Chain A
Amino acid sequence: MKFRTRRTMLYIPGNNPGMLQLADIFGADAVLFDLEDSVAPNEKDAARDLIANMIRFREYENIEITVRINPIDTPYFDRDVKEIIASGNLDAIRLPKANSAKDVKALEKLINKYEEEFKIEPGSIKIHPMIETAIGVIQSYEIASSSDRIDAITIGGQDLTANMGVSKTKEGKEILWARSQVVMSAKAANVDVIDTIFADINDEEGLIEETRLIKSLGFTGKAVINPRQIKPIHAVFAPSKDEVEWAFEVIDAYEKALKEGRGVIAVRGKMIDPPVRKRAQRIAGMAYLMEQE
């Protein structure tokens, strides 16, 4: 699996060329071009054509390009998948309202078809299922482990609370169990897990507090709706100096053991197994990104 660091994934409304063309300058690790909630029903075709051309011709640099398509039970689903894959240069598709492994399989089948039709490297386009219903939360492990194309799952707080019949609050107590469940499912399936948006773009303190919470729960990143939210989130996810030193010690020790044909490695007196090595790689990746910033 290609290693990626996704501390922030920036939503960009799919029918806004001014924002789409600047997508890679804000410093987010990934962008999420949106065909779903931010696009009116009578503009779905225009947004699709625009996003496809942006991906095809804009030559974005050093950023993961993902598109949130419309849900599987809408008339836009098939066309969304076809047009954005035809554009080439797409990294991942975010599937909203993924309620079961069957939903993921339906998307996987379409991606297989269009990757072949448009001569895209087989298996290169990833799937990011979005868990935003009660049934989706309950089935999140089955969803997360339903396809080799999945390298992250994500939780959608607004739709989830609507589905639960409760209000989404700033404190987020109502989705704490769901967040924990989705994190556990992602860890069990060995994929990244991305948190929902923080809606109040003027409340930086609240954003930082929520990011600290979701980091402690095990989330690996967070969706954002405004470029101003990127830096505070990156600061919370930034590893300490000691963590960075430890991460490079682990990576060095692993490479040395590999050369010497040894299977067992210890760093600072503790055994290093694959999940710990993966954590070290993630921290090293974040340290690299911090240097670039």
Chain B
Amino acid sequence: MKISKKSSAGSLESSDLMVYLEPMDTIKVEAVSSVSTSQHQKEIEALVKKELKKAGITGAYVKVQDNGALNLTIKARLKTAISRGIE
């Protein structure tokens, strides 16, 4: 399953993040964070890739702008963005 249209979810408030999705043939994930290290950004990217795989997504460009979100929040925002992007 591929993302068929641009979508987003979340906010730039503290403890939240913005997830932006765009159609793409393969998977590409980029994370930036205002509050964490580059190591943590890599962890976010790995988490996003794992969740995309779980959701059966094989094509998407994902950009994450993190503002100190918990992993469970990242998962929730990604789930929302995916459902908005495949409608």
Interchain Cβ contacts within 8 Å, total number: 45
B38 close to chain A: CB less than 8 A: no
A46 close to chain B: CB less than 8 A: yes
In the complex, identify which listed stretch (A49-57, A141-149, A282-290) lies at the interface while the others stay far away: A49-57
Pairwise interchain contact A45-B76, C-beta atoms closer than 8 A: no
Q: B83: which A residues are within 8 A, CB to CB?
A: 45
Q: How far is the CA of A49 from the CA of B11 in the complex (A)?
A: 14
Q: B71: which A residues are within 8 A, CB to CB?
A: 57
Given contacts A16-B13, A21-B15, A46-B10, contact A53 B84 (CB under 8 A): no
A18 close to chain B: CB less than 8 A: yes
Q: A58: which B residues are within 8 A, CB to CB?
A: 70, 72
B36 close to chain A: CB less than 8 A: no
Q: How far is the CA of A21 from the CA of B84 in the complex (A)?
A: 24
Q: How far is the CA of A18 from the CA of B13 in the complex (A)?
A: 8
Interface centre among A16, A17, A18, A49, by most B CB within 10 Å?
A17
- Please tell me the size bucket of the interface on A: 10 to 19
Interface centre among A15, A45, A49, by most B CB within 10 Å?
A49
Q: How far is the CA of A24 from the CA of B10 in the complex (A)?
A: 23
Given contacts A45-B84, A46-B77, A46-B80, contact A54 B72 (CB under 8 A): yes
Q: How far is the CA of A46 from the CA of B10 in the complex (A)?
A: 8
Pairwise interchain contact A45-B16, C-beta atoms closer than 8 A: no
Q: How far is the CA of A88 from the CA of B26 in the complex (A)?
A: 34
Q: B80: which A residues are within 8 A, CB to CB?
A: 45-46, 49-50
Pairwise interchain contact B73-A53, C-beta atoms closer than 8 A: yes
Pairwise interchain contact B69-A17, C-beta atoms closer than 8 A: yes
Contact among A17, A45, A49, A56 with B15 in the assembled complex (CB-CB below 8 Å): A17
B58 close to chain A: CB less than 8 A: no
Nearest-neighbor residue (CB-CB) of A15 within chain B: B11
Q: How far is the CA of A57 from the CA of B75 in the complex (A)?
A: 11
Nearest-neighbor residue (CB-CB) of A58 within chain B: B72
For B2-36 the 0/1 string (1 means CB < 8 A from A) is 00000001110111100000000000000000000
Q: How far is the CA of A65 from the CA of B38 in the complex (A)?
A: 36
For A11-22 the 0/1 string (1 means CB < 8 A from B) is 000011110010
B79 close to chain A: CB less than 8 A: yes
Nearest-neighbor residue (CB-CB) of B73 within chain A: A17
Q: B84: which A residues are within 8 A, CB to CB?
A: 45
Q: B76: which A residues are within 8 A, CB to CB?
A: 17, 46, 49-50, 52-54
Q: How far is the CA of A17 from the CA of B13 in the complex (A)?
A: 9
Contact among B9, B13, B70 with A46 in the assembled complex (CB-CB below 8 Å): B9
Pairwise interchain contact B72-A56, C-beta atoms closer than 8 A: yes
- Offer 10 A-B interface pairs, CB within 8 angstroms, sorted by A: A17-B69, A17-B70, A21-B73, A46-B9, A49-B76, A49-B79, A49-B80, A50-B77, A50-B80, A56-B72
Question: What 12 new A-B contacts, CB under 8 Å, besides A16-B13, A53-B73?
Answer: A15-B11, A17-B15, A18-B14, A21-B73, A46-B76, A46-B77, A49-B76, A49-B77, A52-B76, A53-B76, A53-B79, A54-B76
